[in-house]
Structure 1
Amino acid sequence: MDHFLYRDGALHAEDVPVAEIAASVGTPFYLYSTATLVRHFRLFDEALDWGPHLVCYAMKAASNQAILKTLAAEGAGMDVVSGGEYRRARAAGVPGERIVFSGVGKTRDEVRLALEGGIRQFNVESEPEMQVISEIAGAMGVTVPITIRVNPDVDARTHAKISTGKSENKFGIPISRAKEVYAEAAALPGLKVIGIDVHIGSQLTELEPFELAYRKVAELTEMLRAEGHEISRLDLGGGLGIPYTPSNVAPPLPTDFGAMIQRTVGHLGCEVEIEPGRLIVGNAGILVSRVIYVKQGEDRQFLILDGAMNDLIRPAMYDAYHDIVPVVQAEPGAEKVPYDVVGPVCESGDTFAKGRMLPPLKADDLIAFRSAGAYGAVMSSEYNSRPLIPEVLVHGDQFAVIRPRPSFDEMINRDTIPEWL
């Protein structure tokens, strides 16, 4: 469910007409709903009410500070994968003890940053990283909690580029080597081994891969406890998918996910962490764009928008589907026509959809890409010297620009010309 609905034929974000925002900020722009963000977070939080837990929002999905502050006010922790994300979380007022630091390539500077600013735990992905954290923590005279990410070799049955739990993926240590790696960690100064971390991928639309992985984690917990390790926390990652495509089969709900977690690891008495990103913010955001031209090709019509692949890269990068709707609702019974929906970037890859059936549209009409809140703004770029587009947050009958569109001068003046030129 989201809060982007038609009222009297006009698409609204909560209580604000989308066309009103477009007239104020210009197109294209990202638009988020506070009510949807809060509702989705609460669904996850309530799904784990059966035991001690923390829902750590995966910031890589959308990292605007206004989104972070909205979720932090609900009690969310944050899952960060870079020093920049850590700084964003802290700038948004999230305390260090609610920040989990994941990622395979933590630098020495990032480790120091987190140790100085406070950290709930590092999710360690390799033995060299573990040794670096130990060295830096020892030099600073501190002890840092860690979990070790294990790779359970489970097929997440998702897109190859967002699968992370198979043996050929770069993430974590093979679960078969967990016993020796945990023993090594326990012997290193400055580290306190507190748990296990696992994450098998993103946009999973069934629970079976999660359950296979979590049952392996449960077995590993028992084995490590028998070896004398204090395993008190399980970081079970995220990855639950959202319904991008029209389908009669919806992905599992957070309630189903929480019940499955209780069924597989609830008996262990561990604190549970999960790291949802897409399901919290994906349907909480849309991309609004304007039709520049309707172009007749040899055998098709092109709907040319002012939004482009640099604004929303998912269709070009993942062949991803986004539902596209007009901001002004079509008349009842209006016959749909096929369009290739494209942007103005000089690449054939700048294509959002082919043969998409839409109501008849014309130049200057507004359209919206649904389910664009996750991996939209955060993956955008200034390719073709196109400025980053605004982000806007709605709260009831109010809206605010939470990232302004830079001017062309601001964009160009970031370049520095050497003296010899």
Structure 2
Amino acid sequence: MSDQPTTLVKETGWRKASSNPSLPEVFRSMKIPKNGSWFRKFLAFAGPGYLVAVGYMDPGNWATDLAGGSMFGYTLLSVILLSNLMAILLQALAGKLGIVTGRDLAQACRDHYSKPVAMGLWVLCELAIAACDLAEVIGSAIALNLLFGLPLIYGIIITVVDVLLILLLQNKGFRKIEALVITLIVTIGGCFLIEIFLTKPELGSVLRGFVPSGEIISDPKMLYIAIGILGATVMPHNLYLHSSIVQTRQFEQTILGKRQAIKYSTWDSTIALFFALFINAAILIIAAATFHTSGHTDVAEIQDAYNLLTPLLGTAAASILFGVALLASGQNSTLTGTLAGQIVMEGFLNIRLPAWLRRLVTRLIAIIPAVIVTALYGSEGTADLLILSQVILSLQLSFAVIPLVKFTSDKNKMGSFANPLWMKILAWTVAVVIAGLNIVLLVQTFI
């Protein structure tokens, strides 16, 4: 055991040799202090978790949370809580995969599966990212429309600016991206803290909402929204993103160094995801306390929520704060979604394109369908599109979760870092629950 701190983890169990670095522009670009307190080291690792948490509070979450709160009151708070606990486990596994193997999840899939299987997984992942980006782009455009009266089409086109923003920030260091993301998260959280104070929800009803109810499974409409919440909370592209951006830290490539990196990375993502839990729960609580209790049980569109908050709460600040939080959420999500698109494209296809071209391609995958949909349907139907996008994400989720659990449980790939028995059981249980809910959704949707 004396050589443990300097022993490298042996790479075995992969069909192909090690891949090129993930996000090469910022790979291992941030130094970790070798001395100092544990808190100083934790701060050096803190950041990636907040980029991941952004995906758990994007405009797609807003649509499902608003629909769930207005239709069913506080009942679906339990789904948000359970989904968040699943997310904490899965993101911890994603971070561990990247730290131990030096591969992000996309690279790991390419290096493990045959080319046809890997290509199939890539196509499914791109569809999920397109669905996610559609929600984020439409959400940002709606926020610009509500706050400034900007037509939806123009708002959607403006979101392409995030491509330039990422290039600018990444050239100044990955920490700048993390700082911007955290600032926007704090803005969203602050807005909803004030909103909860204005709505004054009943504490007892809120607490009862966190207790699971059998009605969620038996009621088809409630189940549809619940699975949409699951798809909006545990996002497949976040697993690819997290496994890549944890590699921006210069942790020691030893067993001890990797164990330390896993510990701090898990703390980082867990704390960040509790912020996401607060924001998701806050949206549903506001919808339940404001709309459901006043008989407005059909509020599923973000525009309706914005317009109703002022008359129901008696202050214009309620609607303005809602719009500001939505804009911050949309911008944050498009930023991290673009990064995830780059990681997936590079990881599965092993292609190297100029940074500006990679990000432009991934942005256009979302912009083009969003422009077409908005031109055809306008503001009407955007709530249905947002909820549907989250259901699509949920259906794709198993194709990211199952490889992740499989890889991190394999001793040939992970060595001494492979999941212990209790974690294997828990992780596979989560994977089976997600797959089972998706099967139920398909049956109820098409049969």
TM-score band w.r.t. shorter chain: under 0.3
Tell me which of the two structures has the higher relative contact order, counting C-alpha pairs closer than 8 angstroms and 6 or more residues apart.
Answer: 2
More helix by share: 2
Given the two structures, how large is their TM-score scaled by the length of structure 2? 0.24
More strand by share: 1
Given the two structures, how large is their TM-score scaled by the length of structure 1? 0.25
- Structure possessing the higher radius of gyration over alpha carbons: 1
